Amino acid sequence: MRRSCPVRHNASAMPGLVIVGAQWGDEGKGKVTDLLAERAAAIVRFQGGNNAGHTIVREGEEFKFHLIPSGILYPDKTCVIGNGVVLDPRILLGEIDGLRRRGVDVNNLKISANAHLIMPYHVLLDTAGEVKLGKLSLGTTRRGIGPCYADKALRLGIRVQDLLDEKILRTKIRTALEPKQQALRELGVQRRKLRKEAGEGGGADEQQAVEDAPDPRLDLHTMTEEHVSYGHRLEPHIADTAKLCWDALDADKTVIFEGAQATLLDLDHGTYPFVTSSNPIAGAACVGAGIGPTDINEVWGVAKAYATRVGAGPFPTELSDEAGRHMLEKGHEYGTTTGRERRCGWMDLVALRYAVRLNRLTSLAITKLDVLSGVGPLKVAVRYRSREGALLDSFPYHQSILHSAEPEYEELPGFDADITACRS
């Protein structure tokens, strides 16, 4: 028996709006969020950490955000860091201080008490993991994101609310550190090996003593005191952010849920293992912000008129020719967080259709069309061809097929006009 649909929010007001990346990230989600924030009561970041970066230009001023939601430039909007985010308190406080120096009011920033903290040992372990993998490294930003999410799943995580109780904080840090000692010792051995291979240090006793000394960042007392001080500074921002969302939605106010990274970097549905450590797809907004599925009214995907990717992993339409270089230079395709060059390629409709279906996109925002001015002909991948010659209209689920898939293109005429000033 079918039940009648529940009463929905006022559809014209779009109370629950999720914005996600529809490619491999860096599509311009921050700009789209910033434009829509003027109509919203709250902007909520629901996953990821400071491995993400949004760049917004407002009245000629450039702002780079890593943790703070894109709506912070509106003093009357509530900006929320949700429970699904992992945050490095040192980085967050640096962002807050930087905004205050530029005259931006951050009193409207709210942080979920249930968000997990990136600790110094997470950063060390992230770096160690990438070094150990060598040529097989995943291309992480080495910001500690993966190890922090791992601790969360292992129930060894430290949450924002723990900063407000020194006794609990000290106990949790001690508990989390114990199983990591062996991994951190291996980090030291690996570091010494690399230094020796590079001809540094020469194995001198003094250098050996320095290498063997405990990392001061991992001293229990120092770490506890430092994080208690972070807690004092962040306490005015810590809140029950799920209830803030509920109250706004129940009052038919617009709430924007902002994702970091993008669909094809999703931990479950992306190009695993070359993915991020969380779920950037629309459905994760429910978990990462503490709302229900029926609170989402619209899902907007953001995609570039071409495609880019940072780090390792399959990228069927990647270019290594003059057209790719043009996209890199004219599109200023350098990572906001790492400064790394982004890999560039033609728009991939096979991957984009996958993102549309996976997120159930209701709208699609296409950015950076002006970058393609002067390039011709333009190409769009409409299907893949497998190594065995099979035509693939759907995004392949098997990694071996995806890694060797060749795109089949349709060509479109290019254009030479400068459309950077176009607004309609």
**Contact of 51 with 87, CB cutoff 8 Å:** no
Q: Which stretches does DSSP call E strand in 176-233? A: none
The Cα 258–Cα 341 span in angstroms is 24
Which amino acid, residue 356? V
Residue 188, CB-side half-sphere exposure with 13 Å CA sphere: 15
The Cα 235–Cα 24 span in angstroms is 35
Catalytic site includes residue 418: no
Q: Which residue's entry shows tokens 């904080």? A: 169
**Contact of 363 with 298, CB cutoff 8 Å:** yes
SS3 92: helix
Catalytic site includes residue 54: yes
**Contact of 249 with 295, CB cutoff 8 Å:** yes
**Contact of 104 with 96, CB cutoff 8 Å:** no
Residue 256: which of 25, 31, 5 has the closest Cα?
A: 31
Catalytic member of 9, 54, 227, 326: 54
Q: Which residue's entry shows tokens 């060390």? A: 124
Catalytic member of 26, 88, 126, 266: 26
Q: State the catalytic residues.
A: 26, 54
